[in-house]
Copies of this chain bind each other. A is one copy, B any other.
Amino acid sequence: MEIIKQFELSKEYLESLRQAIESEDLNFIRETLDGVNVADIAALLDELSMDEAMYVMRVLDDQLSADILTEFEDATQLRILKELEIPEIAKLIELMDSDDAADILNTYSEREREEIISYFEDKVKSDQILDLLRYDEDTAGGIMAKEFIRANKNWNVVQTINEIRRQAENVNKIYSIFVVNNRQQLLGLVSLKRIVLAAEDTKIEDIYEEEVISVPTHMDQEEVAEIMRKYDLESVPVINAKKKLVGRITVDDILDVMREEAEEDMQAMTGISDTVDEYDSVIKLTKARLPWLLIGICGGLLGAGFIGFFEEGLSKVTALAFFIPLITATGGNVGIQSSSLVVQSLANKSIFDDSLGKRFLKVLLVAVLNGLILATFVFGVVVFIYHNEVAFALVVSIALFSVVLLSSFMGTITPIVLDKVGVNPALASGPFITTANDLIGLAVYFLIAISLLNI
């Protein structure tokens, strides 16, 4: 990574920082961290012990400490907040952007929240934050910020620039200025570029764009992300039921939303039931993994009972047991492939639904083709390499073909059903599908064996 002023985050620097903390060399700490990006400082403090990190944060100025606290991963944030007194917490939170402040306050109980906010010196800020706390965390209202520039349509360019000047300290990034009427309802927006190029007495009314995409407070954050991606927006205004402009979501928050959602899907697909990472405790990691493993185990135990029914047949044709893993593994693989394609197409919703019938026909055709190729291959190996009887090889091949068909169907239908009832369809791609397909595969295999081998 080449960065023009790249921060030298070497093990050597980390060592000298530790020494400076030890010897309370405040100047070294302040000077070497001056001008370093907060994201880099946060990453650096993450490498220190809690006491060392707290020491550095107290040495730096409050605004910088607040910014660093915002950058930390949730777990680190919580650990640091636990070390601080309520007035200290209030001081830092008050210096944050309203959306980050609300995120942190959401981790406290209602009583603690009120106590923290009671220490705020800025009444406007506390009102803004109390407003944000009313919204569900995963909605547009929950991720929006109160910091944005709003211009009345009757203003001219100079008045608007004055408003930008007045807000310059609060609003870090200005992409567009939102235009409202006297009732604060959103009418449109005007880009900063247009403000720069317009004459001073130009009325906002005459230069703003009416075609503006906005989102309601209650919209799910994933949908907001998809709209911003689709329409290439760097910020989007949030409006309430009365069309009043109440906040703004910027694209940097959306990048985080997208990463979160991708991780959530991946965890759902791989059977981890809680959002965890490597740094969580052994107990938490174990608890997150256990539920799905237990479901798999129960499936396996059911499967054992099931095979037990066919004990007689199995003791006559022991070779039947050899191909159990082949059948169950293929069922699982085909099921996961199918559901992953459906999950993907559910995420990229087209506006008009393709007819379900047409979709299933295609799934069926792909399954038939795959099934035929795989079954033929397995038939050949079982007869010519493992030297089994043709009748036996037929049982394995037909069972395999049927399992490919059934698993494709299951893998396609499960995520669609989950999506319809409002459950994350990615869950279907995980252990659930695999377990169900194991059982279906075993049933098909032994039923075909019984019918064809007369055992």
Contact = CB atoms under 8 A, between A and B. Distances in A.
A286 interface: yes
A285 B234 CA distance: 35
The 4 closest A-B pairs by CB, nearest first: A300-B326, A270-B340, A321-B321, A232-B252
Give chain A's interface secondary structure class.
helix
Interface stretch (A57-65, A105-113, A131-139, A206-214): A206-214
A292 B340 CA distance: 14
Contacts of A193: 164, 168, 173-174, 192
Given A301-B378, A378-B297, A164 B196 contact: yes
A311 to B, nearest CB: 6
B386 A305 contact: yes
A205 interface: no
Given A2-B214, A431-B333, A301 B282 contact: no
The count of identical subunits is 2
A343 B258 contact: no
A196 B192 contact: yes
Contacts of A223: 1
Contacts of A324: 307, 321, 324-325
A289 B399 CA distance: 19
Given A321-B314, A321-B321, A229 B214 contact: no
Interface stretch (A20-28, A82-90, A118-126, A259-267): A259-267
A289 to B, nearest CB: 5
Nearest to A192: B192
A46 to B, nearest CB: 7
A393 to B, nearest CB: 11
B435 A341 contact: no
27 contacts: A4-B210, A4-B213, A44-B351, A47-B351, A164-B193, A174-B191, A175-B234, A192-B192, A195-B196, A234-B234, A234-B251, A234-B252, A266-B266, A270-B336, A270-B340, A272-B340, A278-B345, A278-B362, A289-B366, A290-B370, A290-B373, A292-B333, A296-B330, A305-B386, A311-B319, A314-B321, A329-B435
B323 A300 contact: yes
A243 B2 CA distance: 9
A92 interface: no
A377 interface: yes
Interface in A412-430: 429-430
Given A333-B434, A340-B267, A373-B290, A345 B277 contact: yes
A381 B301 contact: yes
Interface residues of A, number: 142
Given A259-B258, A272-B340, A325-B304, A37 B297 contact: no
Given A255-B251, A314-B321, A329 B345 contact: no
A43 interface: yes
Contacts of A292: 333, 337
Given A161-B197, A258-B255, A271 B386 contact: no
A266 B343 CA distance: 10
Nearest to A228: B255
Contacts of A351: 9, 43-44, 47
Interface in A155-192: 161, 164-165, 168, 173-175, 186-188, 191-192
A308 B386 contact: yes
A56 interface: no
Nearest to A185: B4
A278 B346 CA distance: 10
Given A161-B197, A270-B429, A336-B271, A374 B294 contact: yes
A233 to B, nearest CB: 8
A94 to B, nearest CB: 21
Contacts of A68: none
A328 B339 CA distance: 21
Nearest to A167: B193
A72 B370 CA distance: 30
A49 interface: no
Contacts of A250: 234
A43 to B, nearest CB: 5
